[in-house]
Amino acid sequence: MRLLIVGGSDAGIQAGLRARQRDPSAEVTVLVADRYPNYSICGIPYHVAGEVPDWHDLAHRTRADLAAAGLDLRLEHRAVRVDTAAKQVDCLDGAGGTRRFGYDQLVVATGALPARPPIGGLDQLGPAEGVHSLHTIGDTLALTDSLARRQAGQVVIVGAGYIGMEMAEALRTRGLGVTVLERLGQVLPATLDPDLAAEVQATLHRHDAAVHTSTPVQAISRPGGGLVVQGRGAARWQADVVLVVTGVRPDSRLAAQAGLRLGVAGAIAVDRRMRTSVPGVLAAGDCTVTYHRLLESDTWLPLGTTAHKQGWIAGETATGGTRQFAGSMSTQVVRVFDRVVAATGLRDQQAAEAGFDPVTVASVADDHKAYYPGASPLQVRLTGDRRSGRLLGAQLLGHLGAEVAKRIDVLATAIAYRAGVADLGDLDLSYTPPLGSPWDALQHAAHAWLAHAGTAPAGRPV
Amino acid sequence: MRLLIVGGSDAGIQAGLRARQRDPSAEVTVLVADRYPNYSICGIPYHVAGEVPDWHDLAHRTRADLAAAGLDLRLEHRAVRVDTAAKQVDCLDGAGGTRRFGYDQLVVATGALPARPPIGGLDQLGPAEGVHSLHTIGDTLALTDSLARRQAGQVVIVGAGYIGMEMAEALRTRGLGVTVLERLGQVLPATLDPDLAAEVQATLHRHDAAVHTSTPVQAISRPGGGLVVQGRGAARWQADVVLVVTGVRPDSRLAAQAGLRLGVAGAIAVDRRMRTSVPGVLAAGDCTVTYHRLLESDTWLPLGTTAHKQGWIAGETATGGTRQFAGSMSTQVVRVFDRVVAATGLRDQQAAEAGFDPVTVASVADDHKAYYPGASPLQVRLTGDRRSGRLLGAQLLGHLGAEVAKRIDVLATAIAYRAGVADLGDLDLSYTPPLGSPWDALQHAAHAWLAHAGTAPAGRPV
């Protein structure tokens, strides 16, 4: 069986490895558009910060690992055309030639592309001028080169999503001046409610990163040696380097050419076994729609964790497996300096749109017993359905070291099993004074929610 | 409604507080045998270590908090007799007098007593001679007094359960020489399989605490100024202080006098609403049997978390509520120096006794991406049922800071919902390189289990 995979990042590589695990006789070829297969894109900010000095270390696996696992990688092979009838893919190779690959099963894992927001001048400016996007290892090397070459002192980051937050930290860690400009009224608008977002913004300010929300960028220009970022009215920011990280869009160009049906947000439509509308063609990762475990419908939620799982399922399907992708709940965590932000599931508006009657209740409890040194407040926002009492989503904000990441995982697990908010109080969670409380902060939050939502007798854990 | 509660620790206080939340008109009286209501017994080692310098800080709540919540505490009131027909309890008060209290509803929350192992001489030795148990604040003050007064340099700890481990760390932190003697062949015999226990033992040795397993203590004597602990044969250890922490047994003396039915391990039999065999009499905490969520039957698992939940349910039942105790899964976590050990659910032998076909598979994965500084190996042992694929239990051992405690909580949550091992791989868990991996260590472990147990196509996450 010839399995051809277009894309050498998380989804593509997982598909290939899983296929080879299940069928060691599979001939797996991976067409990689650039020279950087299987890199941890999520690790880029930590290289830029200097915490991971050698960018090669960001590789999930070495090329030798991938070869040993039976993956035939073709670097600088950009797929440009799929003939699904003839089962062939045409590529441009690095030397300017054209190559054709036949397949029995094809996995399209072309990932995402940076969004290009409507900012004047942006189309005329690029890395050569110090204006960068940040989505690939190539982008990363261009950025670090730019920072060094320009002896950059000031960077403007356009976009306060999680990459904007991570890059603000990274560049401050590098000692640079940082200003973050966000069009919407808060940081992390896709992740957090405004009150927690305000605390994240305060964290950035404490670490001397300026943040301006409700600040759309109108234009970027390069009048002299440096860059000028223009906001509304007379607002101007000078910068040596500008980083535009305003989100991504699915790269479904190849899929569209191939005639695959597209779905939500223009991503490739797939079923829960990652099958596209065309037999023999699978797709996985950021280029595809994302089945949502709680909404039980398709969304588009590009995340590395999801890409891994979808790729894994594509590898199963390609080799005759029947396991389904269980779905995403948009579980996320991001470290911002000495704080950790995490979220899973639905927020009020999404939940209401999905027909729930959402109630969100905020509470605060110590991460561990207050008498033990180092206790810190953990902020919890739980969203539940007033009618059914079902847990729908959660947002956490706490200190680094307060086990915020795995606490959101507890909630993600509960939501996956359709837990009620009240059920959280029943969970047999672990406790030792340096690491928790007899009622964990999550259980405090659950009882606070119940007291407020009135679906159960009032009262907080005591 | 007059609610009388015998016992001022976790279960009793929770019952009172919950009752008052639900029914602010309830007259709640709590008979506390000693002078230390509502202390965090789990915090004792951290006071002895000096990390919590003032033992008063170990109180979960101040007496003012409890009074404000409407609890009428009677200190040094030891209940000695219950007349369930007349609905009366007789006490000895601190002044040597007898007091009688009537009730409409009674909660028996008398807790546990230290086990007294069959060690020669133990009955003749006590705090005055430097031989201590450690179950109450009174015990704690006696121990710290003894350590100071004797200018103790060497302490022998008899028993390597979790309190033995915590006290070994505490006494080393205090700068004392520590030797732990354990009758069974490993440390933490009730919690861990031998291979992980060996690593905990190595951790103790690295911190200069001696540990001897398979070493039953035959006798303790006081031939001169110091104590001598006698093992088998010619083995002898000299000590200034000996701490005997070989477990606990339910304190069901009052319940037996009252004619309440006893169950597993001699603990008070209760249903899942914490009702005893006698109408109007509830019981909660370490003195009662523990419904096991996975076994779906009674066990005896004295833990602070369980006592809180059972007390809470007793408070509900006393005020007309109908919520049931969901059950324990014996979820535990203990910090041992720079390591954290956690467990939940069943181990092989328990699972086999319960009719499962258990398979336990060990695996190791980094707690977060290896390229990010500070990654450390997390050891995971998953126990699942070969026939059904159901997850039955787990043991974790990792470094402090590796979010071990909340990772066991993820598994405890999954087990509560009867998850299959395979389902762990489907969970949408959080990921950022400093705090996790695209496939979390738990998901690696799940795939390793599947590959080994053969209930699903082979292969580890890749």
pLDDT value at residue B455: 55
pLDDT value at residue B405: 98
Partners of B405 on chain A (C-beta within 8 Å) are 403, 406, 430, 432, 435-436
Query: Which tens digits make up the pLDDT trace of A346-381?
Result: 999 999 999 999 999 999 999 999 999 999 999 999
* Chain B contact present for A55, CB below 8 A: no
Residue among B427, B377, B437, B426 at smallest CA distance from B402? B377
Query: Which tens digits make up the pLDDT trace of B294-339?
Result: 999 999 999 999 999 999 999 999 999 999 999 999 999 999 999 9
How would you list the strands of the sheet with A227-230, edge to edge? A219-221, A227-230, A236-239
Mean pLDDT, rounded, for B21-25: 96
CB–CB of B428 and A58 under 8 A? no
* Confidence category of residue B361, pLDDT binned at 50, 70, 90: very high
* Chain A contact present for B321, CB below 8 A: yes
Specify the DSSP element, H or E, that contains B211: strand B209-212
Q: Quote the CA–CA distance of A115 and A133 in Å, as a whole number.
A: 9
* Confidence category of residue A96, pLDDT binned at 50, 70, 90: confident
**Residues A267, A306: contact at Cβ < 8 Å?**
no
Q: Which of A46-50, A93-97, A270-274, A278-282 has the lowest mean pLDDT?
A: A93-97
Residue of chain B with shortest Cα separation from A47: B372
Partners of A328 on chain B (C-beta within 8 Å) are 428
pLDDT value at residue B250: 98
Burial level of B118, CB count in 10 A (0-12/13-18/19+)? exposed
Partners of A340 on chain B (C-beta within 8 Å) are 435
CB–CB of B413 and A436 under 8 A? no
Output the DSSP codes for A125-165. --GGGTEE--SSHHHHHHHHHHHHHTT--EEEEE--SHHHH
Query: Which tens digits make up the pLDDT trace of A290-348?
Result: 999 999 999 999 999 999 999 999 999 999 999 999 999 999 999 999 999 999 999 99
**Residues A297, A262: contact at Cβ < 8 Å?**
no
pLDDT value at residue A455: 55
CB–CB of B371 and A335 under 8 A? no
* Chain A contact present for B344, CB below 8 A: yes
Residue among A371, A361, A443 at smallest CA distance from A407? A443
Query: Which tens digits make up the pLDDT trace of A21-57?
Result: 999 999 999 999 999 999 999 999 999 999 999 999 9
* Confidence category of residue A459, pLDDT binned at 50, 70, 90: very low
Q: Quote the CA–CA distance of A91 and A4 in Å, as a whole number.
A: 12
As a whole number, the mean pLDDT across chain B is 96
Please give the single-letter amino acid code of residue A168. Answer: A
Name B207's Cβ contacts closer than 8 Å, sequence gap at least 6: B169, B172, B337
Name B338's Cβ contacts closer than 8 Å, sequence gap at least 6: B203, B399, B400
Mean pLDDT, rounded, for A169-188: 98
* Confidence category of residue A67, pLDDT binned at 50, 70, 90: very high
Give the one of A410, A432, A460 whose C-beta lies nearest to B335's C-beta: A432
Residue that is written with structure tokens 């868990």 in the block? B429
Residue that is written with structure tokens 């899942």 in the block? B272
CA quadruple A258, A262, A267, A271: dihedral sign: negative
Task: Phi first, then psi: give them for residue B192, nearest 5 degrees.
Answer: -125, 155
Please give the single-letter amino acid code of residue B162. Answer: Y
Number of Cβ pairs closer than 8 Å across A and B? Answer: 237
Q: Give strand ranges (E) for A216-275.
A: 219-221, 227-230, 236-239, 241-244, 248-250
Please give the single-letter amino acid code of residue A178. Answer: V
CA dihedral B71, B75, B80, B81 (to 10 degrees): -30
Both structure tokens of B142: 């006696």
pLDDT value at residue B136: 96
Task: Phi first, then psi: give them for residue A248, nearest 5 degrees.
Answer: -135, 165
Residue among A55, A68, A171, A183 at smallest CA distance from A115? A183
Q: Quote the CA–CA distance of B92 and B81 in Å, as a whole number.
A: 10
Strand-strand pairing, A332-336 and A339-345: antiparallel
* Chain B contact present for A330, CB below 8 A: yes
pLDDT value at residue B225: 82
Name A19's Cβ contacts closer than 8 Å, sequence gap at least 6: A3, A26, A28, A315, A316, A318, A319
Residue that is written with structure tokens 């190996």 in the block? B377
Q: Quote the CA–CA distance of B268 and B287 in Å, as a whole number.
A: 6
Q: Say how many Å lie between the first and final Cα of chain A, rounded.
A: 62
CB–CB of A69 and B462 under 8 A? yes
Angle at the Cα of A54 from the Cα atoms of A49 and A59, rounded to 5 degrees: 105
CB–CB of B432 and A372 under 8 A? no
Query: Which tens digits make up the pLDDT trace of B31-47?
Result: 999 999 999 999 999 99
Alpha helical stretches, state H, B69-181: 137-149, 162-173
For the cut 80, the answer to whether the pLDDT of residue B358 exceeds it is yes
**Residues A32, A16: contact at Cβ < 8 Å?**
no
pLDDT value at residue B459: 42
Residue among B168, B165, B125, B132 at smallest CA distance from B147? B132
pLDDT value at residue B462: 46
pLDDT value at residue B91: 97
Predicted ipTM beyond 0.90? yes
Mean pLDDT, rounded, for B381-396: 97
pLDDT value at residue A94: 84
Please give the single-letter amino acid code of residue A329. Answer: M
Specify the DSSP element, H or E, that contains A360: strand A358-366
Residue among A271, A279, A267, A268 at smallest CA distance from A324? A271
Helices and strands counted in chain A (H then E): 12, 25
Residue of chain A with shortest Cα separation from B17: A462
